[in-house]
Structure 1
Amino acid sequence: MYVTKLILTNLGPVENAVIQPLFHEDGRPKPIILVGRNGSGKSLALSVIVDAMLESQKKLWEKIPELEHNQFLRLMTGRYIKSGSDYSLTEVSFGDKTIGFSQVEFVSSMKRKDFLLKYPGFAIDGTVLNEEDSDRDRFFKDFKAYGETKPELMKDIYLYFPYFRYESPSWLNDVVAPELDVKSHITGVSAHRTIQTGIVGEINRWLLDLVLDREIYEKQIVALPLEGADVKLNVHIPGKYIGPNATTVSLIQSILTEILSSKDSSIQNVRFGISKKGSRSIAVHAIRNGIDTQEVPGLSQMSSGELMILSLFCTIIRFFDIRNGRPPETLEEIRGVVLVDEIDLHLHIGLQKDLLPKIISMFPNVQFIISNHSPFFNMGMAEKNGDDLSIVDMPRGIPIDATSFSEFQTGYDAFIGVDQQYKLGYEKILKKLNGASRPLIITEGKTDWMHFKAALSVLKSEGLFESLDIDFLEYGEEIEMGDARLASMCKHFADVPQGRSTIFVFDRDNPQIIKDMAGDQASKHKKWSKDVASMCIPIPPHRTQYTNVSVEFLYTDDEIRTVDAKSGKRLFFDNEIEEYGLPKKRKDKLRILKQADQDEEFTKKIFDTQCERIKDENGVAVAHSKTVFATNILNKEEPFKEFSRDHFKEVFAVWENILSK
């Protein structure tokens, strides 16, 4: 049975919310996502549903783990009556009035007589309140069952994964014991715990039992005949696993494959293994191109987010097994209602947007009712489900069109792109560090290392800095480093002993980076650890008033404006260029000013964006990029090889100072 109606009236922040779950034509439920700010009533809405779930279990069993039959999960208190209102009313229905159940909860701040004077003819679920019902004066709960609900309740799963892990919510009755673990199967006593806490440890133990039982009881031994010259023998070799444990393990492995392949697309499949005796645990093996390798030695070595996802969905499978006395043949066989509060907890946005919606879709006959703060999860669910999804804005209880979250796609793509760039840069540095022992210089920009490498070569030929034996991280368009990403890498590598000196070199054009990475004025560097240091490019004497000093500013302006004899192009400063366009149109054209804007002289930067747009009065492109400029210098092209390297000397002196200590 699924939730078919939820009505919240004057409950906490909710004035009047009517949530009507949607279903496919074949009866499959569509997921419901409750969204809204903190304190908008999302968790309260879920608490109303789980309260009714537990009441249904009390009708089914003589004893349930969470509470006694004379107890309620939710405290009925006037504290949750909406400010300015006289009462709160909740109604939740499962199934229909042929086979189903419903629960109504009413709480009033007024005595019944006074309430009816103010609200004459007030009806709850079709029944008019009357003064004679003294036992239900200020509050009451009514649970009603329709038809033969027991068969449905016995086979369907009803689970609630709360937001709290170590503390109880204010609406929870403090005599309730949701953590109670029933060890034995006793007639009339439910072994099914609706409220799920501490699921990671529990699932770890359960998976270990599953894998060991499969190994002991379900491994098939195949006899192969072996014939020799004089004898005939049968050789016994392990075959397939056949049995309920093998079925369950296979389903879980399909979920784990989705989890691990979401971060490594080369993983085709995964399987469970068993670690060595002494610290027995479940190992995870990945299959790539038919090659089986151990991915993690134990489930506890997975990330917390991955482990939470695995544990949550394993719990669903486990409790189908408990309910039905057997595992499901397929995930499609599992039916029921699963409530998840703040499903985005502990999860990177990539897992929220792509992985969670994919795994939820693997359980098409489970009604997921989820509260969530992440627009990325909503966006992923909308992409996966299209219109087959309900997103409900709390506290209004109003459905929101899924396209309301499309504006987050740009931000998501940008974040994931940045994340990937960081990974590429990090891996390149790691590879370089592992490849040699000489000190490594890592620069902010993809052309900076070219200037330093060329300058050091020239100065060494003049007998200077001959002892400065270093490597550069040489990279290009494949990595977008930038100052913020480089700073993060510097701090990370400082936390891990490297065994190789590494110097991170930044431009002097960002006040925060200068503050964090430049060090003191005397040493002109900052020591992060024994092996890691950072510095900002020192200000050369001819740039003392300039605020945006990049490596190119170590040359003179005339050198920077040097024309490439082969192409007729040169570098431009941004104060030499003007953007313009037709009246009332976007400024999408560039032109060269007859004279550089002197008001911007001390804040100017090198213009390096779509240089091909800079054209002379004849429409001829006259600008080249910083990459072309740096390549000409590195390759000692005329006349670039004649540049002075005097202002690089201070940089190299700082490097010598760092490496001498």
Structure 2
Amino acid sequence: MEVKKLTLHNVGRFDKLSVLLAPLGNSENNVTVFVGNNGSGKTSILKSLATSLSWLVARIETEKGNGTSIPEFVIKNGKTSAAIDIDVYHCSGSSFDPDLEGYSDDDNYFPWTTARAKKGRKGEFKSDYWGATALANQYRTQLTKNDKASLPLIAFYSVERVVIDIPLKIKYKHTSLQLDGYDKSLSKGVDFRRFFEWFREREDIENEMEKRRLEELVSVEYNEFSEVDNLVSKYEGKIDDLDKSDLKALMEKLGEMRKERYLIKKPEDKFQDTQLNAVRTAITTFMPELTNIRVQRKPKLHMAVDKNGKSLDVLQLSQGEKSLMALVGDIARRLAMMNPSLENPLKGDGIILIDEVDMHLHPQWQRSLLKQLIVTFPQCQFVVTTHSPLVISDCKNILTYLVDDNEIKQLPSLYGEDANTVLLRIMDTGIRNNEVNEKLKDIWNMIDDSDINSAKKLLENLEGEISASNVELAKAKLLIFKKELQLAKNN
């Protein structure tokens, strides 16, 4: 399932805005990125998508469910009403075959409109949810026939997703039904508390299942050893002339075998929860230095993780590490819940919206973030916003839009561009402090005008303000030296 097109009417700063989302044409890349200054409307686009998709989620959960309405304050100033049109593609049968009579690829498109008028005003738009209803009915029909049929994940991660606390004391009993994967998935601030509580609940179940497996294994092995012991006893009693040293060696060997079978357990034999494995795999894929994620119960209850071989409380991680761990873990958790029959739940279908995807992340993670999202969740469509030039210059074939002046512009591929170029060309941001930049420009102008003494004086003042190793300072010194040589030669 994919959102193909979104159209906004009188929403936020936009009179009318239509945008196509990835994948487009022959490109299989499933990531759309919006960049722009604060207040340009990037978040409005994501929230509009979340508002529209909430109607699909609501009607999957219940036949006549209601999604989220457009907030009145979102309607553009001076306008009486607003609307959001969405066009979703879902291939419900075989791939489109132009030779198949009566079948059209149009049958796989599900449009619907969400409209809202200001209180006491007549609206020019009308809500129409037939597409959401029809698509939801397809999923409901699948679940009726097979209660383990997959559902698409639909989730919005806003800027309010900061992880402040990691609670492990479960205050309320939660259910783990398939549809619970939609619990608060489109709310303003995703509740990461639920992720950590879920992790503990699933690990408790996993530990209990492993305990039962071991009990059954011990019972089976005990019976097997009893039979062996009986045979040895009979064997010992019947052959009186057997060399005692040989018999003793035989008994010691059997004892060693028994001990070995009790103590050595192959890792692949251990019971592992499929959903927990999906979460562990996703987090370790993003952050290879983090392994063995678990709930430590003694000496105190906490979530633990091994970082570069050292055991740490998750609260000891940086804010960026905790935020990324919780984000990736929550996506994986929901996919695992909604795809109970998939061997690898991370290959489940979904539409994931992330505002300020680079928030709290080290530049090294910003560079690999989009590639890791694609690799870890290959069947999900991502729509994200960012302020980071590293995010949009280090991933091939992503669809990037610049939001500016109530319009959007599709940008050419920025893959391979250096961060400074992206800052200057796309984000209209200087690569250094404006005051320092102006002083450097003054130095260049003084050198061009052969005013060497003024250039040296300004350069000396600037050296007291910024690092002596600054490349631009070294460049200015070299230019002054060359200019002095030129002036001496001319004289």
Structure 2-normalised TM-score? 0.63
> Kindly tell me: are residues 575 and 22 of structure 1, through their superposed partners in 2, closer, same or farther at Cα, counting changes over 3 Å?
closer
The alpha-carbon deviation at position 392 of structure 1 amounts to 1.6
User: What residue ranges of structure 2 are gaps of 5+ in the alignment?
Assistant: 91-105, 144-148, 163-171, 229-247, 424-459, 469-476
> 5 Å matches for 1:571-590?
578-580=481-483
**What amino acid does structure 1 have at the position aligned with 2:351?**
V
> Kindly tell me: are residues 243 and 229 of structure 1, through their superposed partners in 2, closer, same or farther at Cα, counting changes over 3 Å?
closer
* Counterpart residue number, 1:161: 157
> 5 Å matches for 1:524-603?
578-580=481-483
Alignment partner of 1:348 is 2:352: no
**What amino acid does structure 2 have at the position aligned with 1:349?**
P
Contact 2:57–2:182 (CA under 8 A) maintained in structure 1: no
The alpha-carbon deviation at position 198 of structure 1 amounts to 5.0
Q: Distance in 1 between matches of 2:26 and 2:393?
A: 25
The alpha-carbon deviation at position 404 of structure 1 amounts to 8.5
Contact 2:339–2:348 (CA under 8 A) maintained in structure 1: no
What is the aligned counterpart of 2:267 among 225, 240, 247? 240
The alpha-carbon deviation at position 25 of structure 1 amounts to 7.6
- RMSD over aligned CA atoms reads 4.5
* Counterpart residue number, 1:281: 302
Identity %: 18
Contact 1:576–1:592 (CA under 8 A) maintained in structure 2: no
Contact 2:52–2:84 (CA under 8 A) maintained in structure 1: no
1:4-37 CA-partner distances (Å, limit 9, x unpaired): 2101133221233221123378995620111212
Alignment partner of 1:73 is 2:68: yes
Alignment partner of 1:205 is 2:197: yes
Alignment partner of 1:312 is 2:327: yes
Contact 2:150–2:339 (CA under 8 A) maintained in structure 1: yes
**What amino acid does structure 1 have at the position aligned with 2:186?**
I
> Kindly tell me: are residues 575 and 95 of structure 1, through their superposed partners in 2, closer, same or farther at Cα, counting changes over 3 Å?
closer
> Kindly tell me: are residues 331 and 390 of structure 1, through their superposed partners in 2, closer, same or farther at Cα, counting changes over 3 Å?
farther
Alignment partner of 1:256 is 2:283: yes
* Counterpart residue number, 2:293: 272
Alignment partner of 1:370 is 2:384: yes
Q: Distance in 1 between matches of 2:88 and 2:202?
A: 33
The alpha-carbon deviation at position 89 of structure 1 amounts to 3.1
SS class of match (1:183): coil
* Counterpart residue number, 1:398: 409
**What amino acid does structure 2 have at the position aligned with 1:161?**
Y
Contact 1:8–1:15 (CA under 8 A) maintained in structure 2: yes
1:356-414 CA-partner distances (Å, limit 9, x unpaired): 5324432111001112222221122xxx3x22x211222413211132982425799xx
> 5 Å matches for 1:488-499?
none
Q: Distance in 2 between matches of 1:53 and 1:84?
A: 27
Q: Distance in 2 between matches of 1:186 and 1:248?
A: 12
Q: Distance in 2 between matches of 1:371 and 1:509?
A: 37
Q: Distance in 2 between matches of 1:29 and 1:186?
A: 31
Q: Distance in 2 between matches of 1:211 and 1:285?
A: 17
> 5 Å matches for 1:437-586?
511=464, 578-580=481-483
User: What residue ranges of structure 1 are gaps of 5+ in the alignment?
Assistant: 113-135, 167-180, 262-266, 288-292, 413-506, 515-547, 549-573, 581-588, 595-661
> Kindly tell me: are residues 29 and 367 of structure 1, through their superposed partners in 2, closer, same or farther at Cα, counting changes over 3 Å?
farther
Alignment partner of 1:142 is 2:103: no
SS class of match (2:195): helix
SS class of match (1:307): helix
The alpha-carbon deviation at position 87 of structure 1 amounts to 4.6
SS class of match (1:142): coil
Which gives a bigger RCO, structure 1 or 2 (Cα 8 Å, sep 6+)? 2
SS class of match (1:230): helix
Greater share of helix: 2
Q: Distance in 2 between matches of 1:316 and 1:402?
A: 27
**What amino acid does structure 1 have at the position aligned with 2:302?**
S
Report the count of equivalent residues: 376
The alpha-carbon deviation at position 323 of structure 1 amounts to 1.9
What is the aligned counterpart of 1:193 among 184, 190, 199? 184
